[in-house]
Amino acid sequence: MSFAARLQAELEQFKQEGIYKRLNYLESPQAPRTKMQGRGEVVILSSNNYLGLCNEPEVVAAGKRALDEFGAGTGSVRFICGTFTIHRELEAALARLVGCESALTYVSCWNANEGLCPTLLSEQDIVISDQLNHASIIDAIRLAKTITRCQTAVYRHSDMADLEEKLKAAKDRRLRLVFTDGVFSMEGDIAKLPDIVASARKYGAVVAVDDSHATGVLGQAGRGTAEHYGMLGDVDIITSTLGKALGGAAGGFTAGPGALTDYLTQRSRPQLFSNALPPTVAASALAAVRHVERHPELVTRLHENARYFRERLLALGFKPLPGETPIIPVILGETAKAIRMSELLLEEGVFVTGFGYPVVPRGHARIRCQLSAAHSRDDLDFALAAFRRVGAKLGLV
């Protein structure tokens, strides 16, 4: 069998298993309602555009100005060709936002995570990871283990007793790094950060939090998981993204002590050997950060929308996972059922994605709803009416 034929056979198997992903093409900006090719206007319930800043005029205008001022890109990596001043401004603003001394941008948070673990860890060290951490953390740890031969351990999801056992067993390691998501993207729950930090301090460990689904989302002013718990400045390392609440374009960052970002600048391979963020992205992300700082009411509105939608789903007879974030998963069990429900909802004009194995554990397939501050009550009621009709058709309510 040829190479292409083998791939095609595997793709056909994906389709039979109901896990084949079909792309939907949008013809207008990411917004609460947008135009989808072949579908017309749809309500979006599947975007990380938590604060509605993807199409915020201030954010878009900043990117346009940067294109005129700085051009399309750096043309090389930062230490070789120079670093634009807009990157320095953005990194200072990001550090301030998440309560750290310094920040360093990457082309994605995936790159930030992969640039962190292999750089900091050696065979004398260990990284201890939550069982449900994002794939980027998992791959960053796998990469570090392969390159540096560091030790690794996994603790049961949000099980603090298990974490403490792992820390106790690692007492002879030079560096003990505990790595967790701030908000777990498939469950919508929040890490037990006070307990994690307390255990880490007890055993002399360092805590890293991937706050991609918490930056702009949690805390009174959207400063993330640390602000949510009143712990700004108490987390050793924060990684996060610019591709969700902060304008949704691209990019990520690592924040922490000045010595950390300086060390990453010297040694982190994704930083050393990749071009910097395009100036348009850096400028639009900076405008998004400043917009969030001026408009904390967006965060309040986001959570009001999430509470309303969760309560109405419950009233309709659905059983969303409990939580307090704008990620609202509705567990359906079977992958085929989740995919079928997402297809029927799209026919009703609601774009929301169904997830099954291997993205989530077997038997835990779901529809994952993601709310935005930009959703109007009419948008939400339109979507809820579609859920009621589809749920009745599938015998779910």
Pairwise CA distance, residues 178 & 208, whole Å: 6
The answer to whether the bond into 279 is cis (omega within 30° of 0) is no
Pairwise CA distance, residues 220 & 298, whole Å: 10
Cβ contacts of residue 300 below 8 Å, gap of 6+?
none
DSSP annotation string for 140-209: HHHHHHHHH--EEEEE-TT-HHHHHHHHHHTTT-S-EEEEEESB-TTT--B--HHHHHHHHHHTT-EEEE
213 catalytic? Reply is yes
Query: Looking at the DSSP assignment, which residues form a beta bridge with residue 366?
Result: 331, 355
Query: Looking at the DSSP assignment, which residues form a beta bridge with residue 127?
Result: 152, 177
330 SS3 class: strand
2 SS3 class: coil
Q: Please say whether the beta carbons of 223 and 234 come within 8 A.
A: no
Pairwise CA distance, residues 52 & 66, whole Å: 21
Q: Please say whether the beta carbons of 373 and 66 come within 8 A.
A: no
Q: Which residues of 193-204 are buried (b: 16+ CB within 10 A; e: fewer)?
A: beebbebbeebe
Query: One of 46, 185, 342, 372 is an active-site residue; which one?
Result: 185
Report how far apart, in Å, the C-alpha atoms of 326 and of each of 33, 176, 370, 389 are. Answer: 17, 32, 6, 23
Query: One of 244, 291, 337, 364 is an active-site residue; which one?
Result: 244
Nearest to 347 by CA among 394, 385, 386, 396: 386
268 catalytic? Reply is no
- The secondary structure of residue 373, as a DSSP letter, is T
Query: One of 166, 213, 337, 375 is an active-site residue; which one?
Result: 213
Residues recognised as catalytic: 185, 213, 244
